[in-house]
Structure 1
Amino acid sequence: MRLLYSFIWGLSLPFALFRLWWRGRKEPGYRQHIAERLGFYSRYDSTPTIWVHAVSAGETRAAEPLIRALLATYPQHQLLLTHMTATGRETGGKLFADVQNRLRQSYLPYDINWMIRRFLMHYSPQLCILIETEVWPNLIAQCQQHHIPVTLVNGRLSAKSLRKAQRMASLILPAAHAISAVAAQSNPDAERLKELGISHPIITGNIKFDVTPPIVMAERGAALRRSLGDRAVILCASTRDGEEELILDAFLEQFPLLEQPPLLMITPRHPQRFDEVAQMIEARGIAYVRRSAFDHNLVTPISEKVQLVLGDSMGEMYMYYAMADVAFVGGSLVSLGGHNLIEACAMGKPVLTGLHTFNFSEITDQAIAAHAAVRVDGARSMLREALALVGDDKKRQQMGSSAHAFFLQHQGATSRTMDILKPFIH
């Protein structure tokens, strides 16, 4: 089956390269470092290397506490951080700008044997650490051949992803069996990983709870909030395709009826959709301003006529949460599985989430049980609940305090994960 998989990858390579060029129209990062995706790299010294693969921006942010712990614990090692997306690489560059002397970033090659082989021979990592859900059959097989242990940390697997993997069992199971150690986010994740063929996953929790919110982001959020005057702010964070239309239509139904409507803020998950969402807002005649239009110091007052702010920036999610009174976490109004609500809880904000949270089912259910979050059944009910919280200072503050307590309660996953990785690093 892996031979067929490799053959299909070889046939698909021209289309994959064309897709890079096509995506590069809106995201120039996809047209950069293309040689790395084919297994060709610039000179690299022979310092002992720990390799972490974080496919995109979300995984890169999640990996931050672990990467910093690895750098602190193993000062004689370099860290190689690989990605598949341009946003992942950009996010890594910003997060780890202070340790660039010990951390190198690169794109991981496509999962074609000779490309992966060149990559492994060039960097000779002691250990491969996959973040969250990445299982590449040829990558794992080549690591086996080169005697490089593979670990999966902060592992999660939804029921939907499990069913998809089981349909390709003859391809995925050998790769799963070859993973040396697995640190799972939760008990349901661990059980599903066992069904996939991974033996003895250890439940460590989610390392993203160990992230320290940047002080500068809180300061920027406070500055942005001051520019709004006395208006409350409802944040719709990490929204996905199909959600913004629902939110904007619900906004037009409810907000014009209010004497003092809050400011709505929408931050799309993917930067290539910023312009698309702006067009949706303009088509509905909603007065808005883009985050990119603000001056750097965020001191320019926002007109009271502005009804909505479009958060068209990367790496500022903590700032958006800091300025908000209530936060809805997107990807959950439509069947996309949701996004994690840890950042909102870290900033002590009441959280709203939709019905579709299968990617983060346990953590969402736990947050709801802890009175840190409320589940809603659609965009209209989400905005109604948000408006109710804006109008009830006591309940909003209680939920915010519960959210922050929930965040603190779940810390410690990084230390437990480091214990799992220790035997593989020398």
Structure 2
Amino acid sequence: MRETFLFHLVFRLYHFLWICVLPFLIRSHRLKEGCAERTLKEVLFSRVDLWIHAASAGEAYLAGQIVAGLDDTQELDILITTNTLQGKEILEKVAGDQCHRVTVAYMVFDSPPLVRKAVKIADPKLLVLIELEIWPGLLAEMKRAGKNYIIVNGRMTEKSSRRYGKIGFIWKRLKPMAVLAISENDRIRFADLFGLSSRQAQYIPNLKFDRIETYRYWDEHDEKKDMSLVLASIAREEEDDVLFLVKMLLQKFPELLVHLFPRHMHRVQDWMERLEKNNINWILQSSKADSGSASVVIRDVFGELADEYRRANAVFVGGSLAPIGGQNFIEAFMNGVVPVTGPFLNDFSWVGEEVFREGLVKKGNNREEVLGLLVEALEKPMDKNVLGEKVNRYIAKKQGGTEITCQYIRTYLK
């Protein structure tokens, strides 16, 4: 890699920045776990064939899929790094189920001397980065060592594209061998950022679709259930709008039982006070009490969301009535109910517009439209068997990304 004076100057400044911030990072409560590995005072790995970096929990599951999909006729030495404790716990479970020799470690800080040492120790034939983990220190040291890297399941928002584009001359010198992006828009953004050809930057199905098994609908022969609504993953920023939905729906459907799942448990107390102030009867799930005359069950224990989807007549998936990116609505239609969302779904744009065209998800542009869609869902729910046929057709068309990714990796390893 040819380094211009400007390129060299930027990395001298980047190195100086790490000298300044590293003392604070190693004292951070969030990064304290695994600090010895992040600074290479403790090294768990040696030379490997393949290095996969999975930033956190979601990427960790994808890393497991990739390793499982690799050819088992040749045992590989694989290093998988992550930034979070949750990611590491997932990867350690995954590692035990593989036919390859897998080592799991925390990712080193991107300080140039640290990543230089890590690249020298690991000496990988190929580095695989999942989604958008492009750290300039790591990529520069890979290039200096003459190593290849690719980005898989790549996704990049317009906001990220603008931010990274401010130092576009850096990224064009650190370009990967290939980018496998999850949508055509993501492919274009990566190609523009790195200066890649259409052959180097390609669109393939999102690997997350390969983790979805089959449609799981509720047994229609179960005893008749009361009318119920699930409000899932409700964020603090949209609580006023969600309270409006609760009040309006209870006025129209007095017998409706609402299951409210706050996104974060520390918001439970606030919901108790909100409902009390508006004279809405509620109980906590943890109380184990019968819902009785309560109109709202505040779900203050983790889990159980999939089961409630199967029982629900209607669902609203939160994080979408405020501009915070949305939450996972796929789980709802996979479990037998068409979810309603607000307009803010940037984090799930990779799913594509087809889910809305096919009626697998209903989107309202504001709380009034969301209210109307929920009323419609409660009054005219979609037949679960019809929904199941639609879901399975949709998922089948979206799967296969893991095999394509593994083919690329096998090619580069050879």
* Bucket of the pairwise TM-score, normalised by the shorter protein: 0.7 to 0.9
Q: Where in structure 2 are the equivalents of 1:13-412 lying within 5 Å?
A: 13-18=22-27, 20-21=28-29, 23=30, 30-44=31-45, 48-70=48-70, 73=72, 76-93=75-92, 98-99=97-98, 102-175=101-174, 177=175, 179-199=176-196, 200-213=200-213, 230-255=225-250, 257-266=252-261, 268=263, 273-275=264-266, 277-284=267-274, 285=276, 287-290=282-285, 293=286, 303-304=291-292, 305=294, 307-310=296-299, 312-313=301-302, 321-322=309-310, 324-339=312-327, 341-361=329-349, 363-394=351-382, 398-399=386-387, 401-412=389-400
Distance 2:359 2:394 in 1: 9
Tell me the equivalent position of 2:5.
none
Aligned-pair CA distance for 1:352: 2.4
DSSP-derived class of the 2:353 partner: helix
CA contact (8 A) 2:207 2:400 kept: yes
Change (3 A) 1:258 1:325: closer
Tell me the equivalent position of 2:7.
none
DSSP-derived class of the 1:420 partner: helix
Aligned-pair CA distance for 1:83: 1.7
Could you say what the CA RMSD is over the residues aligned between the two structures, in angstroms? 3.4
Tell me the equivalent position of 2:6.
none
Aligned-pair CA distance for 1:185: 0.8
DSSP-derived class of the 1:40 partner: coil
Distance 2:371 2:259 in 1: 10
DSSP-derived class of the 1:243 partner: helix
Q: Deviations over 1:125-155 (max 9, x none)?
A: 3321111111111111112223332110011
Change (3 A) 1:17 1:33: same
Q: Which amino acid aligns with 2:403?
A: S
Distance 2:21 2:210 in 1: 39
Tell me the equivalent position of 1:297.
none
CA contact (8 A) 1:154 1:183 kept: yes
Q: Which amino acid aligns with 2:124?
A: P
CA contact (8 A) 1:50 1:80 kept: yes
1:6 to 15, 18, 21: 15
Q: Structure 1: 5+ residue runs without aligned partners?
A: 24-29, 295-299
Distance 1:83 1:388 in 2: 44
CA contact (8 A) 1:213 1:346 kept: no
CA contact (8 A) 2:142 2:148 kept: yes
Change (3 A) 1:114 1:329: farther
Aligned-pair CA distance for 1:165: 1.5
DSSP-derived class of the 2:382 partner: helix
Distance 2:298 2:324 in 1: 24
Change (3 A) 1:322 1:395: closer
DSSP-derived class of the 2:164 partner: helix
Distance 2:99 2:271 in 1: 39
CA contact (8 A) 1:63 1:207 kept: no
Q: Which amino acid aligns with 1:406?
A: Y
Tell me the equivalent position of 2:3.
none
Q: Structure 2: 5+ residue runs without aligned partners?
A: 1-9
CA contact (8 A) 1:390 1:396 kept: no
Distance 1:3 1:206 in 2: 37
CA contact (8 A) 1:389 1:396 kept: no
Aligned-pair CA distance for 1:194: 1.5
Residue range with higher mean Cα deviation, 406-415 or 387-396: 387-396
Higher helix share: 1
Q: Deviations over 1:71-116 (max 9, x none)?
A: x546512433222233333444556664498433322122111221
Distance 1:89 1:208 in 2: 19
Distance 1:229 1:252 in 2: 25
Q: Which amino acid aligns with 2:42?
A: Y
- Aligned-pair identity (%): 24
Change (3 A) 1:348 1:419: farther
Distance 2:233 2:384 in 1: 21
What's the TM-score, normalizing by structure 2?
A: 0.81
Distance 1:405 1:214 in 2: 10
Tell me the equivalent position of 1:26.
none
CA contact (8 A) 1:373 1:403 kept: no
CA contact (8 A) 1:350 1:396 kept: no
